Amino acid sequence: MTPQQSYKRLTEILAEIQDLKRAGNVLAWDQFTHMPPQGSAMRGRQLATLGKIAHDMFTSKEVEDLLGAVQAFEKSLDHTSDDACLLANVRRDYEKATKLPSHFVSTLMTHQSQCYDVWVQARAENSFTKVAPYLAKTLELSQQYAQYFKYNHIADPLIATSDEGFTTQTLRGLFGDLKKQLVPLLQEVVAKQKADDSLLKQSFPLAAQEQFSKDLVAAVGYDFTRGRLDTTHHPFMISFAHGDVRITTRYQEHNLSESIFSALHEMGHAFYEMGIAKELDGTLLFDGASSGVHESQSRLWENIVGRSMNFWTFFYPKLVAAFPTQLSGVSLSSFHSAINKVAPSLIRTDACELSYNLHVMIRFELEIQMLEGYLDIKDLPEAWNAAYEKDLGMRPPSDAMGCMQDVHWYGGLIGGQFQGYTLGNIMAAQFYEAALKDLPHLPDDFKQGQFKNLKQWLGSHLHRHGRKFLGLDVLKKATGHTLDIHPYLNYLTGKFLYILE
Ligand code: ZN
């Protein structure tokens, strides 16, 4: 085989591996949306089988030989071409995957699925002790995962699974700087604001909420011929192909903002995946650059655009038309203050923009303590509650509202699970600032219900690349800057001090 033929054969194998992964995604989407409860045991097994087959194919002798055989071809490529970036990513993934034994991969996947099911029940019953042995096993597997890699800090290999380029040390520095500036701003706004969000807690029929969420994301540009919006416990976006990128949300009768902002959040993730160049479909470049960059897209649409006055200048009359009894006496400015009410709270996904990152930082530090072995799983609820009391001034009344609220540790690993949310907030402000510099009319666009200019800017500056480049490189390409907390702090200060006026 010539080097070109070897490359062609390698891409065929990689495409089959992607097919297996996406088949797994279909099973996972079904598990989290429509599957009856008793389907879960076999579903876990099926997902683990697919994961193991994909892992074995990727770490096979044939892939190793082909990676050796393509070197001459690889050297002839422009390093920013799709082929060169694909090979660079394959080599990175291959190096990681070959460090993990196949039995570890299948043990982990089977365990994750079981732990998730137990967590769903334990959370409903508010029984941490029920899920604690499973979580202890997750911690053990997470520590074991790290041992397969070289590291300075045990959390580093886990952080690298989602935000390559960051370490425990760099993130601690970054979060420390951000916290120093955020806490005084949060305290100032909490002391002065008069926002009342009780108008969002009236009774809003679920069917009308669902219709509004669908109409809203469609009006912003989510293409229902390439996606769906379904209901779930913990909203997510999942991609099967360029032509099938699905989102989910959840509806609560007495919480109107939950469904709207979860839908806008997941729509932001979907715009990213729907915007990846079609040529990359079926390759392992058809993915986001990092969890931070992915989250930047969801937070940009959810918060910077979706909680802005300009956005609701256009959509509020439509919301009032959908809920006339509840909202016809409520002014746009009261609604806008309500959806931007600043107050420390217990649930991360409902947190206001000013306290959100404190939730992330608490989880990040707890992950490190657990991985280092200083915090036992049995002591997690108390450590969680103590951290909330110290940083947010409130103590969760139950573990369901405390350390059992997020799916991440119960369906994944411990370590590297949360930093992407804060990185995403920071990057979202940087991307938006860069877009606004090129397109100063964006705020007027939003007032007119026009979102395609921003969507196109994001598409051509970052979405189309998919996973060709690392997260920090995508940021640099799109904005011309490295990671910087100042655009984010300027955005928050400008917005919340203005709302106070
Ligand atoms: Zn997200």
For residues 239 and 287, give the distance between their C-alpha atoms in angstroms, rounded to a whole number.
9
pLDDT band per the 50, 70, 90 thresholds, residue 270: very high
Q: Could you list which residues have their CB under 5 Å from ion ligand 1? A: 298
Task: Check whether 113 has a pLDDT greater than 90.
Answer: no
CATH fold for the domain made of 168-500: Neurolysin; domain 3 (1.10.1370)
Task: Check whether 263 has a pLDDT greater than 90.
Answer: yes
Tens digit of pLDDT for each residue in 461-485? 999 999 999 999 999 999 999 999 9
pLDDT band per the 50, 70, 90 thresholds, residue 193: confident
| Residue partners of 150: CB distance under 8 A and separation at least 6 | none
CA of 472 to the centre of ligand 1 (A): 18
CA of 434 to the centre of ligand 1 (A): 21
Among residues 214, 269, 236, which one has the least CA distance to residue 407? 236
pLDDT band per the 50, 70, 90 thresholds, residue 45: confident
Q: Compute how many other C-beta atoms are within 10 angstroms of the C-beta atom of residue 471.
A: 27
For residues 354 and 5, give the distance between their C-alpha atoms in angstroms, rounded to a whole number.
54
Write down the mean pLDDT value for the chain.
Answer: 95
231 pairs with which residues across the strands? 249
Quote the pLDDT of residue 455.
98
Average pLDDT over residues 53-60: 94
Quote the pLDDT of residue 195.
85
CA of 297 to the centre of ligand 1 (A): 8
Task: Check whether 135 has a pLDDT greater than 80.
Answer: yes
For residues 104 and 140, give the distance between their C-alpha atoms in angstroms, rounded to a whole number.
12
Quote the pLDDT of residue 363.
98
CA of 300 to the centre of ligand 1 (A): 10
CA of 259 to the centre of ligand 1 (A): 14
DSSP notation for 152-198: SSTTHHHHHTTSTT--HHHHHHHHHHHHHHHHHHHHHHHHH-----G
> What burial class does residue 306 get, using C-beta atoms within 10 Å of its C-beta: 0-12 exposed, 13-18 middle, 19+ buried?
buried
CA of 265 to the centre of ligand 1 (A): 6
Q: Are 294 and 424 in contact (CB under 8 A)?
A: yes
CA of 266 to the centre of ligand 1 (A): 6
Phi/psi for 231 (5° steps) reads -100, 140
Task: Check whether 118 has a pLDDT greater than 80.
Answer: yes
Average pLDDT over residues 292-313: 98
Share of the chain above pLDDT 90, in %: 91
Share of the chain above pLDDT 70, in %: 100
Average pLDDT over residues 130-142: 98
Where is average pLDDT lowest: 156-165, 241-250, 287-296, 491-500? Answer: 491-500
Tens digit of pLDDT for each residue in 375-428? 999 999 999 999 999 999 999 999 999 999 999 999 999 999 999 999 999 999
CA of 296 to the centre of ligand 1 (A): 8
Task: Check whether 233 has a pLDDT greater than 90.
Answer: no
Quote the pLDDT of residue 345.
94
CA of 236 to the centre of ligand 1 (A): 7
Average pLDDT over residues 69-87: 94
For residues 150 and 409, give the distance between their C-alpha atoms in angstroms, rounded to a whole number.
23
Catalytic residue (one of 258, 266, 353, 433): 266
Task: Check whether 38 has a pLDDT greater than 90.
Answer: no
Catalytic residue check, 273: no
pLDDT band per the 50, 70, 90 thresholds, residue 40: confident
CA of 406 to the centre of ligand 1 (A): 12
Q: ∠ CA 66-70-76 to the nearest 5 degrees?
A: 170
Average pLDDT over residues 200-205: 98
Average pLDDT over residues 6-16: 96
CA of 357 to the centre of ligand 1 (A): 13
Domain residue ranges in the chain = 3-150, 168-500
Buried b (16+ CB within 10 A) or exposed e, 382-398: ebbbebbeebbeeebee
CA of 235 to the centre of ligand 1 (A): 8
Q: Are 29 and 83 in contact (CB under 8 A)?
A: no
Enclosing H/E stretch for 240: strand 237-241
Task: Check whether 346 has a pLDDT greater than 80.
Answer: yes
Average pLDDT over residues 434-450: 98
CA of 355 to the centre of ligand 1 (A): 17
Average pLDDT over residues 311-335: 97
Sign, Cα dihedral of 26, 32, 33, 34: positive
Quote the pLDDT of residue 498.
75
CA of 239 to the centre of ligand 1 (A): 14
CA of 46 to the centre of ligand 1 (A): 26
Enclosing H/E stretch for 248: strand 244-249
For residues 56 and 294, give the distance between their C-alpha atoms in angstroms, rounded to a whole number.
28
Average pLDDT over residues 340-368: 95
Taking phi first (over 0 means left), then psi (-120 to 50 degrees means alpha), and beta for anything else, what does residue 65 get?
alpha
For residues 412 and 267, give the distance between their C-alpha atoms in angstroms, rounded to a whole number.
23
pLDDT band per the 50, 70, 90 thresholds, residue 11: very high
